[in-house]
Structure 1
Amino acid sequence: MNTSPSLPAEDDGTRHWTEPGIYTVAPGVYRIPLPMPNDGLRAVNVYALTDGDTLVLIDSGWAVPEARERLGEALRGIGAGLGDVSRFLITHVHRDHYTMAIALRREFGGKVALGSLEEPSLTAAANPTRRSMDTQARLLVRCGAGPLLAELAREYGDLPRQHIDLWERPDEWLEPGPRTVLPGRKLEVVHTPGHTTGHVVFADEDAGLLFAGDHVLPHITPSIGFEAVPAELPLRDFLDSLRLVRAMPDRRLLPAHGPVTASVHRRVDELLDHHDRRLVVIAETVASGANTAYAAAHLLRWTRRERELLELDVFNRTLAVLETAAHLDLLVHQGRLTATDQDGVRCYATS
C-alpha cells in the first residue's frame, strides 16, 4: 500500500452523502460513495476496512468506468489502490454491489464472498438464454398487469443483458456466524432475507457498526424480492429480518444508499411501522373492489412525494406493482385476505 495518502474527510454529515470522496466513519473504516449511472438512487456506498496493511471492501459498486475511477481515487486517500483489495464481502447479488468485485478480481485477484442463499439467483442471472426482466415479466402476468407488461417488453425486451459476463461465482459462499476479516476486527455475518433471498449484513460488535447493505436504508424502503429467483413470501422474510436486527444491540447504521446515521433501531422501527400501515391501506383497496395487485397499485400513492402509479417510469411502476403483490400475498398468509388464481391472474378478496 502507498505510504503517502491524502487524508480522507470526516463523515460528519456536512456534505451530501453522494459527494465523491472517502470519508472516515470510525478508526480503520471508510465510506466511499460511487456513482450509479441511469439510476434514481444516484450512488452506492462501498465501505473500506483496513489495518494499514490489509484492505477489505464491503460491497464493491457497479462495474462502470466512472465508478472504477472514483473508487481508485478514493482509495488513494488512504494510501491504497485497486490492486490492494484482498477481499470483497458482498451483501447481495444486485449489480451495484457485486459486479465491480468480479471485474476487479479478474484484473487483480482479490477474493469475493457472497451469501450462500444468493446462489440460485446468481446462477439464473448468468444464464445467457434468460431475457432481461424475464422473472418480473412472469410475475406481472400473475398481477394482472397486462398493459404494464407490454410496456416493459417494449422497454427491456430487446436490450442486451447487462453484465452477463460478470455474474461469475464467488470464491466463498458466506454462512451466518463470526469471522475475522482483519487482525483485530471481527464481523458477524447475519442472514437478512427480503430485499433478496441471500442478503446478509455485517455487524461489528466492537466498533458498534452495522454494515446494512440494502436491508435497512435511512431514507427509503428497499424493494422487496427483486431478483432472478424470488422467494415465496419476500415481505414476510423482510419483516422477520427487520425484527431480527431489532433484537440485536443497537449500532450505527452504515447503509448502501444514504448517509450514515446514529441508530439502526430507530430506522427499523420506522420501517416496521411503515409496512404495518401499508398492509392496512392495501387491505382497504381490496375491500373497495381492487381484486388484483395491478388494480390495487393504482389506488396507492408512491414515494415520499405521494405520486400516483402512472407518474412513475415503467421500471418503478414494475417495482410498485410487485411490492403491492408482496403485501397482498402476506395478507393472504396472515388470513386477512383470500386469493384465487383465475386464468393465471391472482385475484384477492376480503376474508
Structure 2
Amino acid sequence: MTSEGTDWTDLGCHPVAEGVHRIPLPMPQDGLRAINVYVIEGPDGVSLIDAGWNVPGNLEILRDGLRSVDVGLDEVTDVHVTHIHRDHYTMGPELRRRVGSRIHLGGGERPGLTELRELRTSVPADSLAQLRRAGAPEIAEASRVEALAEPWLAEDWELPDTWTEEGPVSVAGRTMEARLTAGHTKGHLVFDDTALGVTFTGDHVLPRISPSIGFELGGWDNPLSDYLASLEAMLERPDTLMLPAHGQVGGSVHGRVRELLSHHDSRLDATRAQVLASPGVTGLQVASGLPWTRRERAFGSLDVFNQMIATCETMAHLDVLVARGDVVVEEVSPAGVERFVTA
C-alpha cells in the first residue's frame, strides 16, 4: 500500500496498489468534501470503481488524473458502482455518453433507481415518510422544499447496462468478489480483491464516520438491522485493507467494522435511554435529545438536511430496538406519528 499525503482530497491520481490508482473528485457544498474514484488497470483494459458526481469540472479532473498515468478517458470501458447515491453514480451515464463506458450497478438498487426515475425529482420520498412517522412534519416539508430546489437531470439517472449480483466479477479482467452489504442502501456492494488483499468498501465501511442509515428510496424495511448484519458478515471473511469511497486509504477492514458495531451498540443504548427517560416519546424527541456528528453537536444546530438524516437514523435505531423487544410502540396517532415506551 503506497503512503499518501496528509489530505486525502488533494487532486491528482494517487497510486494505491499494483494496478490501482485513486482520483478524488470534489463534492461541492458537501461535508464529505470528495469521493475516491478508483482506477483499475488489468488485462482487459481500464475500469473504475465508482464514477463520481457529475458536476461541472469533475469530468476534466477525472480526465487529467487519468492522463497523468498515461490513460485516456476513452480507455475506460466499465464503471462498477457501489451504490446509487449521486456522488457515486451520476458520472457513469456521462462517461457512457462521452466514451461508451458500460455501467454496472447492484441489483438491489433497482427499486430505488426505478422510484427516482418515476419521481423525477431529488425528493427523498421514503425519508419524508419516516419524518412524518417520527412527528417531524415541519422538517419533512422543509426537506421537500430544499430537494425541489435542487436541479434534477434525467440523463444523470439512466439505467445501468447490467445489474451486478453477488459473486465473482471481472473488473478490467481482474477477478474480484462482489458482496452485497445492504444498509446504507438496499443494494450496496463492496468488492473484494483477494489477490491484492484489499476491499473497495464504498460507503459501507468508512475510516472516520458512520455512513447514514435510512436515506434512500425503494421502501423502508429495517435498514439498520441490514447494516449491522452486513458488518457482521464482513468479519466472517479474511481481513483486508480498506479502500473507502471517502477518506484515507488503508487500515484493517475488520478493525473498523468492530468500531462501527461498537458505535451502533452505544447509539442503541443511548436511544433506549431516551425512551426510558421520557415514556411516550416520538422519534423526533429522541433525535433531539441525542448528540450528533463526531463533534457531538446539538440537534437544533444541524441544518435541515442533517436534521432529516439524524431523525431517519433515529427511527432506524428505534426499529431495531422494537425488533429486539427492548422498545414497543405505545400508540400511533391518526397522522401516523408513533410514540415509544420501553418494554
- TM-score tier by shorter-chain length is over 0.9
SS at match of 2:242: strand
Q: 1:249 to 1:89 in 2, by over 3 A?
A: same
Q: Quick one: which amino acid aligns to residue 333 of structure 1?
A: A
SS at match of 2:90: helix
Supply the distance in 2 between the matched residues of 1:303 and 1:278 (Cα, whole angstroms).
12
Query: Which is worse superposed, 148-157 or 113-122?
Result: 148-157
Letter in 2 for 1:345: V
From the superposition, tell whether residues 153 and 111 of structure 1 become closer, same or farther in structure 2 (CA, over 3 Å). Answer: closer
C-alpha displacement of 1:128: 4.5
| Aligned partners of 1:233 and 1:330 also within 8 Å | yes
Whole-Å Cα distance in 2 between the matches of residues 216 and 133 of structure 1? 23
Where in structure 1 are there 5+ consecutive unaligned residues?
Answer: 1-9
Distance 1:90 1:272, change over 3 A: same
Match of 1:269 among 242, 246, 258: 258
Paired with 2:25 and 2:190, the residues of 1 have a C-alpha distance of 19
Match of 2:181 in 1: 192
Please list the CA deviations of residues 201-243 of structure 1 after superposition, one character each: whole Å capped at 9, or x if unmatched: 0000010010000000000000013111143100000000001
Distance in 2 (CA, whole Å) between partners of 1:40 and 1:163 is 23
**Residue 349 of structure 1: aligned partner:** 341
- Please give the per-residue CA displacement for 1:280-310, whole angstroms capped at 9, x wherever unaligned: 0100000111611100011000011110001
In 2, the alpha carbon distance for the partners of 1:161 and 1:23 equals 32
Asked if the contact 1:44–1:257 (Cα under 8 Å) also holds between the matched residues in 2, the reply is yes
Contact 1:126 1:165 in 2 (8 A): no
Counterpart mapping for 1:58-73 below 5 A: 58-73=49-64
Match status 1:207 vs 2:196 = yes
Task: State the match for 1:143 in structure 2.
Answer: 134
Moved more, 337-346 or 103-112: 337-346
Q: Secondary structure at the match of 1:211?
A: strand
Q: Distance in 1 between matches of 2:43 and 2:141?
A: 53
Tell me, yes or no, if the aligned pair for 2:170 and 2:176 is still in contact at 8 Å.
Answer: yes
CA distance in 2, matches of 1:200, 1:180: 14
Is 1:315 aligned with 2:305?
A: yes
Counterpart check, 1:125 vs 2:133: no
Matched, 1:162 2:145: no
* CA deviation profile, 1:87-121 (whole Å, cap 9, x unmatched): 00000000000110111101211111000010000
Q: Return 317-326 or 161-170, whichever deviates more.
A: 161-170
State the one-letter code of the partner of 2:273.
E
Distance 1:129 1:64 in 2: 18
Alignment check: 8 A CA contact 1:118 1:197 kept: yes
Q: Report the residue type matching 2:288 in the other structure.
A: H
User: Paired residues, what number?
Assistant: 340
Match of 1:7 in 2: none
2:205 is equivalent to residue 216 of structure 1: yes
- The SS at the match of 1:127 is helix
Is 2:91 the counterpart of 1:100?
A: yes
Is the contact between residue 127 and residue 214 of structure 2 (CA under 8 Å) also seen in structure 1? no
- Superposed CA deviations along residues 5-39 of structure 1, whole A, max 9, x for unmatched, are xxxxx841323001101111111011111001111
CA distance in 1, matches of 2:166, 2:11: 32
Counterpart of 1:238 in structure 2 is 227
- Conservation of the 8 A alpha-carbon contact between 1:90 and 1:98: yes
Which ranges of 4 or more aligned residues in structure 1 deviate by more than 3 Å?
Answer: 128-131
RMSD value, Cα:
1.6
Corresponding position of 1:172? 162
> Residue type matched to 1:192 in 2?
T
Would the aligned equivalents of 1:132 and 1:161 in 2 still touch at CA under 8 Å? no
Aligned with residue 280 of structure 1, among 247, 265, 269: 269
Give the drift of 1:168.
1.0
- Same amino acid, percent of matched pairs: 44
Unaligned ranges ≥5, structure 2: none
Q: CA deviation at 1:131?
A: 6.1
Tell me if 1:78 matches 2:69.
Answer: yes
Equivalent of 1:254 in 229, 243, 250: 243
Q: Does 1:300 align with 2:290?
A: yes
How far off is 1:66 after superposition?
Answer: 1.7
